[in-house]
Amino acid sequence: MSVPDAPTTELLRALCADGPDRLTDTIELTRQLHDVNGVLWALEDEARTIGDVHRLGLLKRRIDGYNARRAALVSAIDRTLGQLLPHGPPDVPPLASSLGASLDRLTVAARRAAVLAATDDERADDALQQMADLRVALHADHADLLAGRRRLPLAGVLKRYGATAPSSP
């Protein structure tokens, strides 16, 4: 069982300073999201090596299942943080993405930075900078929420996976 990277946990502590119980919930959800993104990373790497169309189709179904779990976790993070943070006045612009979606991007950025660094990829420093930029942007979003300059966007991921997808017309 892995834990979110230290920058993610540190960021969550700052975002949820007034709600330690919800912080624990959010850290657990983010840990699960981090793990799901790790599995997705591995499955997508595997998909790039499969030549057999039937096997690729089966793998795509597994990827869809994990993507559905990922979307559910992002939505759960949005709901949890939505109970902790001010929503902001309705007449101010929303954040560009939900906090759950931003934390999802941060967990992917952390994984990318780790993988690139482990393989001595020349892009490793850029990946670390992208992760740092995301952290700074999330802190700015939090400050804007607290100051009433921005509001939380509508929470929830509206994806179509498996049985939850409406039938085509």
Separation between Cα atoms, residue 71 and residue 73, nearest integer Å: 5
Sorted by where each begins, the domain ranges of the chain are: 6-159
Q: Kindly provide the b/e burial profile for residues 38-76, where b requires at least 16 CB atoms within 10 angstroms of the residue's own CB.
A: bebeebeeeeeeeeeeeeeeebeeebeebbbbbbbbbbb
pLDDT in tens, 85-94: 888 889 999 9
In this predicted structure, the answer to whether residue 117 has a pLDDT above a threshold of 60 is: yes
In this predicted structure, the answer to whether residue 120 has a pLDDT above a threshold of 50 is: yes
Q: What is the pLDDT of residue 166?
A: 38
Percent of the chain predicted with pLDDT > 90: 52
Give the length of the chain: 169
pLDDT in tens, 53-79: 999 999 999 999 999 999 999 999 999
pLDDT band at 5 (very low <50, low <70, confident <90, very high): low
Q: Which residues pair with 27 in a beta bridge?
A: none
In this predicted structure, the answer to whether residue 125 has a pLDDT above a threshold of 50 is: yes
Reported as type and span, the H/E element at residue 167 is none
Residue that wins the pLDDT comparison between 134 and 88: 134
